[in-house]
Structure 1
Amino acid sequence: MSGSSSGEVEVAIIGAGIVGICAAAHLAEAGLKVTVFDRTGICEETSSGNAAALAFSDVLPLAHKGMLAQVPKWLLDPLGPLAIPPAYFPKLMPWLYRFWRAGAAGNYEGGLVAQASLMSLAETAWAGLMQRSGTKSMLREDGSLELYESEQEFRDSLPGWAARDRFGIGYRHLERDEISAYQPGLSPHLVRGTFVPGWKTVSDPKLLGKAIWKYAESRGAKFVQGDVALALPSNEKIAIQLKQGRTILADKLVVAAGAWSHLLARQFGDRIPLETERGYNTTLPTTAFDVKRQLIFSHQGFVVTPLETGIRVGGAVELGGLNRAPNFARAKAMMKKAQKFMPGLDPSGGREWMGYRPSLPDSLPVIGRASGRDNVFYAFGHGHLGLTQSAATGALIRDLVLRQAPEIDLSPFSAQRF
Structure 2
Amino acid sequence: MGPPNQVDGNAAPQVDITVVGAGIIGICCALALARQGLKVQVLDKQAPGMGASFGNAGHMATEQVFPIADASILTRLPGMLMDPMGPLRLDWRHLPRALPWFTRLLLNLRQAPYAHSVRGIRALNEVSLCAWHKLLDTAGGRHLLKSDGSFLVHETPDTATELQAIKARMADHGVTVEAWKGDAIRERAPELSARVQGGLFFPDTGHVVNPYSVSELLVAAARQHGVCFHQREVTRARLSEHGVTLTTADSGTIQTPRVLLACGAHSAPLTAELTGVRVPLDTERGYHLMLPREAHRLPLAVTSLERRFIMTPMREGLRLAGTVEFAGLQRPANMQRAWQLHRLTQGLFRDPLSAEGATPWMGFRPSLPDSLPIIDSVQHGKVLLAFGHHHLGLTQAAITAEMIATLATPERTPSFQSLPEPAPYRLNRF
TM-score of the pair, normalised by structure 2: 0.92
Report which stretch shifted further, 105-114 or 56-65. 56-65
Report which stretch shifted further, 183-192 or 211-220. 183-192
Match in the other structure for 1:356 = 364
Partner of 1:374, secondary structure, is coil
Report which stretch shifted further, 1-10 or 408-417. 1-10
CA displacement 1:338-370 (0-9 Å, x = unmatched): 133234211211011111001111111111124
Matches of 2:404 and 2:313, distance apart in 1:
32
CA contact (8 A) 2:232 2:251 kept: no
Matches of 2:322 and 2:410, distance apart in 1:
38
Matches of 1:369 and 1:83, distance apart in 2:
34
CA contact (8 A) 2:93 2:327 kept: no
Amino acid at match of 2:429: R
Match in the other structure for 2:343 = 336
Match in the other structure for 1:122 = 128
Match in the other structure for 2:91 = 85
Q: CA deviation at 1:115?
A: 0.9
CA contact (8 A) 2:295 2:314 kept: no
Gaps of 5+ in 1: none
Instruction: For 1:212-361, list aligned pairs within 5 A.
Output: 212-268=218-274, 269-287=276-294, 290-342=297-349, 343-361=351-369
Identity within the alignment, %: 33
* Residue 324 to residue 252, structure 1, CA distance change in 2 (3 Å): same
Is 2:70 the counterpart of 1:60?
Answer: no
Q: CA deviation at 1:287?
A: 3.6
Is 2:378 the counterpart of 1:366?
Answer: no
Amino acid at match of 1:416: N
CA contact (8 A) 2:81 2:90 kept: yes
Amino acid at match of 2:421: D
Matches of 1:189 and 1:151, distance apart in 2:
11
Matches of 2:205 and 2:328, distance apart in 1:
30
Matches of 1:216 and 1:299, distance apart in 2:
41
Amino acid at match of 1:274: L
CA displacement 1:190-230 (0-9 Å, x = unmatched): 33211112211011000111101111111111111111111
CA contact (8 A) 1:7 1:247 kept: no
Partner of 1:340, secondary structure, is coil
CA displacement 1:259-318 (0-9 Å, x = unmatched): 101111010211111111111111111446611210112443311110011111111100
- Equivalent in 412, 415, 425 of residue 413 of structure 1: 425
RMSD across aligned C-alpha pairs, in angstroms? 1.9
Is 2:400 the counterpart of 1:400?
Answer: no
Amino acid at match of 2:198: R
CA contact (8 A) 1:49 1:281 kept: yes
* Residue 321 to residue 3, structure 1, CA distance change in 2 (3 Å): farther
Report which stretch shifted further, 142-151 or 351-360. 142-151
Match in the other structure for 2:387 = 380
* Residue 67 to residue 308, structure 1, CA distance change in 2 (3 Å): farther
